[in-house]
Amino acid sequence: MAYSDRAFGNAGALPQTTGADAAWSTFARSQRVKTQRLAEHDAVFYEGDPADRVYELIEGAVMLFKLLPDGRRQVVEVVAPNALFGIVAGALYDCNAETLTPSVVRILDRRELEASNEYQGHVAECLREQIERLHDHAVLLGRKSAFERVASFLMRFVPKRGVPGCLGPQNGKDEQVIELTMTRQEIADYLGLTIETVSRVISDLKRRGLLSIERQDRIRLTDVCGICRLTGAH
Amino acid sequence: MAYSDRAFGNAGALPQTTGADAAWSTFARSQRVKTQRLAEHDAVFYEGDPADRVYELIEGAVMLFKLLPDGRRQVVEVVAPNALFGIVAGALYDCNAETLTPSVVRILDRRELEASNEYQGHVAECLREQIERLHDHAVLLGRKSAFERVASFLMRFVPKRGVPGCLGPQNGKDEQVIELTMTRQEIADYLGLTIETVSRVISDLKRRGLLSIERQDRIRLTDVCGICRLTGAH
């Protein structure tokens, strides 16, 4: 029973092209569909807003988060390019959406989308991906230690490693430079930790020679296998 | 910005009947679709099994869970009647499904389901509901205290209370008897707690006069508003 965290940094693309995807591409590129350019930390929508639009992330990164009334925040998803977001069951958005980096989104009309069975196949495909990621995230939040959470987070930025079919280090060196696109506070709010714990774990991984910090949001993993062994997935 | 946990004990039904639902009903009741009767704690499928069937829960309760290699378990969803489960993006189930009580499930052929745009509307509707519940669950696991988690869990069994439009106690008494359908260990694994913590919190709520324990799996909430105030949602 293999357990793997799914990547969001690089594996946001849909698994394969299907008939549903082809119909979708035609629709998404049609004249009726608008795109919007957003700056870093722009709000896309707020929890409780009327959910009359669905968004497709074209470029950049978007986080979805919920707030408790006393201000505690949980980042529930980090949306990767090609994914849809803002798809809800009820009339209102159930969470807030904010860009992490400058982003481009495609704005789709919810009624038009839901009225057409033709596009529901693509929508369902995106939702299925999303649910698997949310299941993995529940395991992370509910059962993993702080070290395992941070290691799992870092590994999501490393393409094709720590997933089924991982070939291990290639050509001797086991390094990978990753751009986090999230502040320490955002990472903490995604991993269900405090900012102090995130910083302490990253410092500890550095002391153990597993990574070096090139910039606040740019980390060089110097031992990818070593980080991977800390994810709790092995 | 109202925060509310969605019920799974009593509000599993879909929000409204749509054209997609009508098409679905016809399909689900067709001759080709089989139903299966399962006992308590029967496995429906295992993580890693080929995901060639989709299930609809007709009666009973089913939990979905994932295991880490060292045996730690996280219950990621509790499926309520009328919901679909076993819908995944890839070729294999991403989690395990096990009944909590004697249950009846409808078995649907995945290929048949995915080949038909007609039913994707209903599938997408179920998935949207599921995603909102998973978002709420991420807040619970990532940001709520043990007391808030247990109080949130108990409130999910109380129809129409602690949700938008809650009218508060009616006719003076604020009591509700609830059937948990889950063992203390299953509750702990759902709430990301240890069994000791769940038992300690329930004992504490009892000492504070908020509930009484009629049987291991049958609890009388004697002050629903009091429990609700502990959920972290107010």
Give percent of chain B with pLDDT exceeding 90.
71
Q: Identify the CA nearest to A158 among candidates A10, A4, A5, A12.
A: A10
3-class SS of residue B234: coil
Per-residue pLDDT reduced to its tens digit, A46-81? 999 999 999 999 999 999 999 999 999 999 999 989
pLDDT over 70 (residue B1): no
In a domain, B118, yes or no: yes
pLDDT over 70 (residue B123): yes
Q: Can you read off the two tokens belonging to residue B59? A: 């009666």
Q: Rounded to whole angstroms, how far apart are CA atoms A107 and A81?
A: 14
pTM of the model: 0.90
Residues A154 and A92 grouped into a single domain: no
Contact A46 B88 (CB under 8 A): no
Residues A101 and A156 grouped into a single domain: no
> What pLDDT score was predicted for residue B83?
94
Average pLDDT in chain B = 89
Residue in chain A nearest B188 by alpha carbon? A142
> What pLDDT score was predicted for residue B9?
43
> What pLDDT score was predicted for residue B11?
37
Contact B135 A2 (CB under 8 A): no
Contact A132 B67 (CB under 8 A): no
Residues A33 and A114 grouped into a single domain: yes
Per-residue pLDDT reduced to its tens digit, B4-37? 444 444 433 344 456 667 778 877 777 678 999 9
Give percent of chain B with pLDDT exceeding 70.
91
Domain membership of residue B118 as a residue range? 19-142
Residues B184 and B84 grouped into a single domain: no
Residues A161 and A194 grouped into a single domain: yes
User: What residues of A are in contact with residue B137 (Cβ under 8 Å)?
Assistant: 138
The ranges of chain A with pLDDT < 70 are 1-20, 31
Sole residue written with tokens 């309760």:
B61
In a domain, B85, yes or no: yes
Contact A135 B3 (CB under 8 A): no
pLDDT over 50 (residue B204): yes
Per-residue pLDDT reduced to its tens digit, A168-181? 888 788 999 999 99
Residues B128 and B150 grouped into a single domain: no
In a domain, B3, yes or no: no
Query: At B178, which CATH number?
Result: 1.10.10.10
| Pairing mode of beta strands B96-99, B62-67 | antiparallel
Q: Rounded to whole angstroms, how far apart are CA atoms B164 and A51?
A: 17
Q: Identify the CA nearest to A53 among candidates A108, A127, A124, A120.
A: A108
Instruction: Indicate the Cα dihedral angle B29, B31, B34, B35, nearest 10°.
Output: 40
- The answer to whether A194 and A188 have CB atoms below 8 angstroms apart is yes
Residues A155 and A188 grouped into a single domain: yes
> What pLDDT score was predicted for residue A14?
40
> What pLDDT score was predicted for residue A7?
40
Query: To the nearest whole angstrom, how far is the Cα of A52 from the nearest Cα of chain B?
Result: 14
Task: Find the angle CA(A78)-CA(A83)-CA(A85) to the nearest 5 degrees.
Answer: 70
Indicate the DSSP class of residue A229.
Answer: T
Query: At B109, which CATH number?
Result: 2.60.120.10
Query: To the nearest whole angstrom, how far is the Cα of B14 from the nearest Cα of chain A?
Result: 9
Task: Place B171 in a pLDDT band, splitting at 50, 70 and 90.
Answer: confident
In a domain, B130, yes or no: yes
Residues A105 and A184 grouped into a single domain: no
In a domain, A3, yes or no: no
Close Cβ partners of A125 (under 8 Å, ≥ 6 residues apart) = A14, A18, A20, A21, B89
Q: Of B95, B117, B142, which one is at a domain's C-terminal end?
A: B142
Q: Which residues of A130-144 are buried (b: 16+ CB within 10 A; e: fewer)?
A: bbbbbbbbbbbbbbb
Q: Rounded to whole angstroms, how far apart are CA atoms A220 and B118?
A: 48
Q: How many domains does chain B have?
A: 2
Helices (H), chain A: 19-28, 110-115, 117-143, 146-155, 184-191, 195-207, 224-228
Residues A115 and A153 grouped into a single domain: no
Residues A67 and A182 grouped into a single domain: no
pLDDT over 70 (residue B169): yes
Residues A170 and A208 grouped into a single domain: yes
Q: Can you read off the two tokens belonging to residue A6? A: 């799914």
pLDDT over 50 (residue B97): yes
In a domain, B5, yes or no: no
Sole residue written with tokens 């950049």:
A60
Q: Of B142, B157, B173, which one is at a domain's C-terminal end?
A: B142
Q: Of B85, B115, B142, which one is at a domain's C-terminal end?
A: B142
> What pLDDT score was predicted for residue A29?
76
Average pLDDT over residues B147-174: 91
- The answer to whether B230 and B221 have CB atoms below 8 angstroms apart is no
Q: Rounded to whole angstroms, how far apart are CA atoms B57 and B41?
A: 15
Residues B126 and B199 grouped into a single domain: no
Q: Which helix (H) or strand (E) holds B138?
A: helix B117-143
Helix-helix angle B195-207:B146-155, to 10 degrees: 70
> What ipTM was reported for this prediction?
0.90
In a domain, A185, yes or no: yes
In a domain, B233, yes or no: no
Contact A234 B69 (CB under 8 A): yes
Sole residue written with tokens 């839901």:
A114
